[in-house]
A and B are shown apart, each in its own frame.
Chain A
Amino acid sequence: MKLILHIWRQANAAAPGKMMRYEAAGLSEDMSMLEALDVLNEELIARGEEPVAFEHDCREGICGSCGMMINGVAHGPSRATTTCQLTLRHFRDGQELYLEPWRARAFPVLKDLVVDRAAFDRIVAAGGYVSVPTGSAPDGNAIPVPKDDAERAMDAAACIGCGACVAACPNASAALFTGAKITHLALLPQGQPERHERALRMVAQWNLEGFGSCTNIGECEAVCPKGIGVEVIAAMNRDFLAASWAERDRVHAGA
C-alpha cells in the first residue's frame, strides 16, 4: 500500500518550518504509523536526505514518547490508541495524511515532529507525589484500600504523559494531565496528608508553564490514548477549590 504524507519539517527550535510532501510506497496494512515512517526514513537516507525526526521508544503504547497530529487529530483516527499502535488498516491505499507536531506554547518544537514536554515533569515535581522517603513505609496491608477506590485510582494513574490532551485542546490546557495525577493520589489514603498542597502547587505550576485554562470542551478525553475521562478535571477543580478555601482560612487566622 501507498500513502501520501505531508510532514512538518523544521530543522531546530529557532528555524522556521514548513509542510513537505512525500510518497511512502511499499507499505503494508499490518504496519504501524511509525513503521511507515521508518520505511520513509530508510528511503530518505538512501537518497541522501535527512530523515524525519519523530519521538518513539517502547512502540507498545505505554512509554508516552510518540505522538503527532494525524489529519488534525492527536494520535490519529483510532480511539484510545497511541501513534505507535495505530496500524495502517485505518487508512486507504493512496490516502493523504498530514503529520504535524503537538502544537502548544508550553511544548516548543525541537525538530520536525519532536517537541519539548519537560513542562509535564515540572508539574509533577510541584507535588505530584507522596512524600515517603525510602524505608519509612508501614506494611503494605496496614491500610486497606477499598477495591473500587484502587480501581478508580488506577484508571487515573494510567496516564502515559504523552501530551495528546494538550495538543487537542483549543486552549492547550494541561487540565487532563494534571487532573489525572491529582485524582490518582486523592483517591488513595496515602495521598491524603498532602492533598491540598498538591492541588494548589500543581495547578500553579501548570499556569506558570504557559498552558491554557480548561473551558470544558472535552477534546482531551476524546484523544486520550488511555481513555482518561474529564471527571478527573472535575475532581481536581473540587480539590483546588477546597484547598484554596482552607488556605484562605489559614491566611485569615494569621497562620
Chain B
Amino acid sequence: MALESRIPSGSIESRWDRTKFEMKLVNPANKRRHTVIVVGTGLAGGSAAASLGELGYNVKAFCFQDSPRRAHSIAAQGGINAAKNYHNDGDSVFRLFYDTVKGGDFRSRESNVYRLAQLSVNIIDQCVAQGVPFAREYGGTLANRSFGGAQVSRTFYARGQTGQQLLLGAYQALERQVDAGQVTMYPRTEMLDLIVVDGRARGIVTRDLITGKIECHVADAVVLGTGGYGNVYYLSTNAKGSNCTAIWRAHRRGALFANPCFTQIHPTCIPVSGDYQSKLTLMSESLRNDGRIWVPRTGGDKRQPSQIPEDERDYYLERKYPSFGNLVPRDVASRNAKQVCDEGRGVGPGGLGVYLDFADAIRRLGEDKIRERYGNLFEMYERITDENPYKVPMRIYPAIHYTMGGLWVDYYLMSTIPGLFVIGEANFSDHGANRLGASALMQGLCDGYFVLPYTIGDYLAKNRFDRIDPSHPEFRAAEDNVDSMTRRLLSINGTRTVDSFHRELGKLLWDHCGMSRNAQGLELAIGKIQELREQYWCDVKVPGSAADLNQSLEKAGRVADFFELAELMCRDALHRDESCGGHFREEYQTPEGEARRNDDAFSYVAAWEYQGVNHPQALHKEDLAFEYVHPSQRSYK
C-alpha cells in the first residue's frame, strides 16, 4: 500500500491557501443532501459537528457521555497556543511552526504543522467571539503566559480551566445547531464498528448505553474525533471513559495506525498514593512558569523540604538546561524526573516524586498573585493530598497524559479508508514524537473549525454516493459482529473482573513501554500481553445483560481493544531503533543521557496495517521531508 499524503507543493506559506482554492466545493443547496457522522464531541468533534451544521450538512453527532459537554477536552487546564504576537516578544507563525516541529523531535509533517500555526490565530478570534472568558490584562486585551518548549508568551488561558471554557464554546455552538435542526445529537451512544461499503466509509454501528440497542447509521462520510488512547496504561490523566475503541475498530476495518508508540508522559502529576488508585491527576504545566523543580542533592535524604538548605538541593532542570530551565519540553522534564528518582533521590512515600516549589515565587510576587494565577490548581492539590502547597512544596511525578500516535491521515485529514476522516488527538498528524504544552487544544479546534469543514467538502463533491439502507449486507454483517462480541464477553463468566485485567495490562505497558524502553523489555512485554489477552478471553467476568445500562460490559469491550493496541505499541517501539521525543530507547542515548535520533534510518511515519488478531501488523512508511526546519539534536541547554 502506498501512502498518499497529498501534501501540496509550493512554498510552505502558500500551501493551505492554494489547497483551499483547488478543492471542489459542494453547492449550498446540495449540502443538506449529505449526511456526515461525527463521533466524539470534544474540541475536535464538537467544533467539527457545529461547523458542518452551520455549513448546512445534515450532521449526526455521537458521544458515549451523557452530554457532549463532558468530553475529556473539558479537563485541559493550562491553555492554547496562538501566534498572535500580542506581546511583541518576537512570535510569528513561522516561530510557532518551528517550535512545534522541533518540539516534536522532527517526526511530524511540516506542511500540517505550518497550517496549524497559521490557523492558530483564527481559533483565538473564534473563541473570543463565542464568549470564552479568556484572561485579560487591565486594559482589556488578552493575557498570555509561557509554556514549555517556547521562549515567547503565546499561551492564551482561562484560569486553570482553559479546556473547559473552549469546550463549552464549541458545545454551545453545537447546541445552537441542534436547536436549528442541523445536528442530531446521540449522547450515551458508543460506536462499536465502522461500516465500509465498496471501499468507502459509509456508516457506523452503535450501542445505546441505556437500552443496549445495537443500531446502524448510514452516512456519506464518517469523522472520528474520539481522542487518545492513554488509558491503555490503566493509570493516566485521561477520563475513565476515554478509550481507543472507535479508532481501533476502524483500524481493524483497514485504517492504518501511525506511530502508536509515541506517547506523552506529563511531568507534573500528583504521585500515585495506593493500589486502589483509579486515575492520576495532572497539575498544569503552567505551574512550571513559577514553580522550581528540585530534589535533595544526596539520595535517602528524609528531612522535611523546609529543613533542607539551599546548597543541599539540586534544581536539576535549571542546572542542566540553563536557557529553558524549568520550562523544558515535557519529554525532557519527565525523563529527568525519572532519572533523579532512579538515582534514589526521589521524595515522598515510595520515592517516586520530585518537589515543585513555589516559595521563591511567593516571596517575589506575594501569595495573592500566585493565588490569582493558580488558585484552583493549588486547591485541587490540597484536596487530594491534604497538603498546603502555599506552605510546603508540591510533590509531582510524571504520568501518561497524551498520545501523539493515532490513525494515519493525509493532509486532508482523511485516513487510508476513503470517507473516514480523523481529527484531534485521534489522528497522528501534528505533534511528531512529542507534543508541546497548549498545542492539543490548538490542534483539536484547528482540525474541527478550520480544516475538516473544507476538506470533507472536497471529498463529498468529488464522489457519488449511492443510496444505502441499513439492510445492506455490510451493515448486517457489522451489526452481527458487534452482537457476537457482546454475547461472547457476557458468556465467559470467568473469575477476574475487567478492571483487574486492565490494571495488570497497564502495569506491563508502563514498565516496558513507558518512560523508557529497551528491546529486551519490549519483547518480554509482547509475550506477556499475548498471554494476558488469552486469559482475558477465557477468564473475564462480565456481570449483567446486554439489554441494559451495563458499565462492566462497556469497559470489557474497551479493554479487549486495549490488549490488541498494547501489543502494537510494543512492536512499534521495538522496531524504532532510535530515541525521539516521548519514545526513549535506552540503547540509543547521547553520553549526557539525551535522546539520540537516527534520521538516516527512521525519519518516517510508521503506519501499521491490520492483518488479523493473531498476526502482527504490516509496516508501511511515509518518509518525512524537512525543507524548512532542519533536523538537529534538540537542545534546550
Residue pair A59, B133 in contact (C-beta under 8 Å): no
Is A255 located at the chain interface by the 8 A CB criterion? no
List which A22-54 residues lie within 8 A (CB) of chain B. Answer: 27-28, 30-32, 34-35, 38-39, 42, 45-46, 48-51, 53
Partner of B278, one of A59, A146, A153: A59
A-B contact pairs, 17 of them (CB 8 A): A28-B276, A31-B276, A45-B543, A45-B552, A58-B74, A58-B239, A58-B240, A63-B72, A133-B51, A134-B50, A140-B125, A141-B84, A146-B140, A147-B136, A161-B70, A184-B131, A190-B128
Instruction: For A191, list chain B residues within 8 Å (CB).
Output: 131
Question: How far is it, in angstroms, between the C-alpha of A145 and the C-alpha of B124 when the chains are bound?
Answer: 15
Least Cβ–Cβ distance between A107 and chain B, in angstroms: 11
A residues whose Cβ falls under 8 Å from a Cβ of B:
11-12, 27-28, 30-32, 34-35, 38-39, 42, 45-46, 48-51, 53, 55-65, 78, 80-81, 85, 87, 89, 110-111, 114, 116-118, 120-121, 124-141, 143-147, 150-151, 153-154, 157-158, 160-161, 184-185, 188, 190-191
Instruction: Specify which chain A residues have a CB less than 8 angstroms from the CB of B125 in the assembled complex.
Output: 137-140
Contact A140 B380 (CB under 8 A): no
Contacts of B65 in A (CB 8 A): 57, 63, 65
* B21 on interface, CB distance cutoff 8 Å: no
Select from chain B the residue with minimum beta-carbon distance to A186: B131
Closest to A59 in B: B279
Mark each residue of chain B from 308 to 346: 1 if its CB lies under 8 Å from any CB of chain A, else 0. Answer: 000000000000000000000000000000000000000
- Which 8 A-B pairs give the minimum distances between C-beta atoms? A144-B140, A129-B172, A137-B129, A125-B175, A137-B125, A154-B133, A153-B133, A57-B239
* B69, B127, B136: the one within 8 Å of A64 (CB): B69
Contacts of B552 in A (CB 8 A): 45, 51
Contacts of B177-198 to chain A: CB distance below 8 A: 178-179, 185, 187
> Which of chain B's residues 359-409 have a Cβ closer than 8 Å to chain A?
379-380, 383-384, 386
A137:B86 contact, CB within 8 angstroms: no
| Interface membership of chain B positions 489-531, coded 1 if the CB is closer than 8 angstroms to chain A and 0 otherwise | 0000000010110000000000000000000000000000000
B271 → A minimal CB distance (Å): 11
Q: Report the bound CA distance from A108 to B363 in whole Å.
A: 52
Proximity string of chain B (446-468) to chain A, C-beta cutoff 8 Å, 1 when within and 0 when not: 00011001000000000000000
B300 CB–A CB distance under 8 Å: no
Report the nearest A residue to B270, measured CB to CB: A60
Contacts of A146 in B (CB 8 A): 136, 140
Assembled-state Cα–Cα distance A35/B164 (Å): 24
CA distance A126 to B543 in the complex (A): 40
* Contact of A128 with B66 in the complex, beta carbons under 8 Å: no
In the complex, A127→B180 CA distance in Å? 11
Q: Are B171 and A38 in contact (CB under 8 A)?
A: no
Contact B450 A147 (CB under 8 A): no
Residues of B within 8 A of A157 (CB): 133, 158, 165, 168
**B276:A35 contact, CB within 8 angstroms:** yes
Residue B532 CB within 8 A of the other chain: no
B48 to chain A, nearest CB (A): 10
Residue of B whose beta carbon sits closest to that of A137 = B129
Q: Give min CB distance, A201 to chain B, whole Å.
A: 9
B497–A132 contact, CB under 8 A? Answer: no
- Within 8 Å CB of A49, what residues of B? 543
Which residues of B (91-148) have their CB < 8 Å from a CB of A? 122, 124-131, 133-142
Closest chain A residue, CB of each to CB of B68? A121
**How far apart are the CA atoms of A190 and B159 in the complex, in Å?**
19
Q: How close is B623's CB to chain A, nearest CB, in angstroms?
A: 34
With a CB–CB cut-off of 8 A, which chain B residues contact A80? 379
Q: A125-B179, A134-B50 are in contact. Are A190 and B240 (CB under 8 A)?
A: no
Chain B residues with Cβ below 8 Å from A34 are 278
Residues of B within 8 A of A114 (CB): 549
How far apart sit A60 and B284, CA to CA, in the bound complex (Å)?
A: 13
Chain B: minimal CB distance from A97 (Å): 18
* CB atoms of B136 and A57 under 8 A apart: no
Chain A residue numbers with a CB within 8 Å of B538 are none
CB-based contact B543/A48 at 8 Å = yes
Contacts of A190 on B, CB cut-off 8 Å? Answer: 128-131
> Do A137 and B128 touch (CB < 8 A)?
yes
B130, A55: Cβ atoms closer than 8 Å: no
Contact call B240/A158, Cβ cutoff below 8 A: no
A134–B453 CB distance below 8 A? yes
B274 interface residue (CB < 8 Å to A): yes
A55: chain B residues at CB < 8 Å are: 66
Min Cβ gap B244→A in Å is: 16
Give chain A residues whose Cβ lies under 8 Å from the Cβ of B139.
Answer: 144
Task: Give Cα A136 to B125, complex, Å.
Answer: 9
Q: Which chain A residue shows the least CB distance to B544?
A: A50
Decide if B484 is an interface residue (CB 8 Å cutoff): no
Least distance between B400 CB and chain A CB atoms (Å): 15
A125 to B184, CA, bound (A): 12
| A126 to B130 CA separation, bound complex (whole angstroms) | 16
CA A34 – CA B499 in complex, angstroms?
A: 14
